[in-house]
Structures are given as structure tokens and as C-alpha cells.
Chains A and B, each alone.
Chain A
């Protein structure tokens, strides 16, 4: 089992460009999450999906959109990237509110 996978691993964007971060899990988990990790700020929840077909805002949703494409996949979209969105993005999945399994992360730089 691959667990949680994310693509791409690295990305550099110019201000105003758009992109989609992809996440997939093969553990048949209902819940999936997107976090951003910034120095001194820890992990902050952007969006989550408690089950297929549902999504909800987390702590820092502004500037992002998500799609729960099916049970396996949960994508994060930046419509118009800003330098403040430079961060490391982690996807995670869990069964209910139990242990979360994390992906390897995507390092995004917005110039």
C-alpha cells in the first residue's frame, strides 16, 4: 500500500498563476485533510472532507478551493497564487477523527 501520495513534490509559481495539488489515499478512509506548514505556525487546517461528497472549511481557507473527487482523491486548488501562499502543503487521511496518515508534502514557492 502506498498510503497517502501527493503530487507534485515541488512547485514554483508566479503571482497570479493557478495550480492544483493532488492527493490520493489507498486506505479506504472517509476523512481527508489539507494542511499548510509554516515556520513558527505549526500545521494549520485549510479544508477537510469528512466523507465523499462533503467538504468544509478549516482554519485558513481563504485563497483555496478543494474537490473531493471520489473516496480516494482530494485536490487543493489555488486559483490566483500569492506570495503568502508559499508554504509546505500536507494532505492527510483518517478513519473518523482518529490517527491521521500524512503524505510526503508539496513544497510550493510563489514568486
Chain B
């Protein structure tokens, strides 16, 4: 079965510490993977997509097809990074294969 799993509901770190939000996936095909972020009282917005291989707000995420994970990383967390983070997988040309993980709440303490 297609699955996207974020094993941590809550991740709490201190400002300046490294952050890694985990995303494991199980797909029969080759999914496109995305990270979305939802800041308090704001709508969800795209943070990263794996095909662009870019760094946004200091975050990076590399797709590891062998291990099937797409973890989100940042070397030095900032308080403004506190938010809900969702990993999402989708497969082109396969309707309905849009799956979000359960979400991880990141709390960055001063």
C-alpha cells in the first residue's frame, strides 16, 4: 500500500540546534515528494520539492530512493521555524495517489 509516514508528532529543539524531520515513504512507483509547512494561523504552503534540489529558508531534503526516505534538515534551527511540517507524496498519472504524512510539529525554543 502507498504510505507516507512521519514518525514524530512533536520535535522540540533549542535555537541553533540541528533539525531533522523524518519522512518515510512506500510507493509502488516513483513518487514526487514535497514538504509543506503550516505556520500558526496560516495556510499550508510549499516548502520544498525533491526534484528542484533547492534550499529554502535553510532547509534541504534529499530523496533517498534506496532507503525510501525524504528527511527534512536544517543545520541551525530558528524560532521562526516553529510550525507544522507535512511530507507529501504524489504519483503522476495515477489518480488519487496523493498522500500526506501525519505531520510533525516543530517547536524551537529560545
Chain A residues with CB under 8 Å of chain B are 33, 35, 40-45, 48, 50, 56-59, 90, 92, 96-100, 102-105
Instruction: Determine whether the beta carbon of A97 is less than 8 Å from that of B46.
Output: no
Q: From residue A96, how far is it (CB to closest CB) to chain B in Å?
A: 7
Chain B residues with CB under 8 Å of chain A are 6, 9, 32, 34, 36, 43-46, 49, 86, 88, 90-93, 95-96, 98-103
Which residues on B sit within 8 Å (CB–CB) of A99? 34, 46, 49
Report the number of A-B residue pairs with Cβ-Cβ less than 8 Å: 55
Which single member of B91, B92, B103 contacts A43 (CB below 8 Å)?
B103
6 more contacts with CB within 8 A, not counting A57-B96, A100-B46, are: A42-B101, A44-B100, A45-B98, A45-B100, A48-B98, A97-B92
Which residues on A sit within 8 Å (CB–CB) of B6? 42
Pairs A-B, 10 closest by C-beta atoms: A42-B102, A43-B100, A102-B44, A97-B90, A42-B103, A102-B43, A99-B46, A42-B100, A97-B92, A104-B43
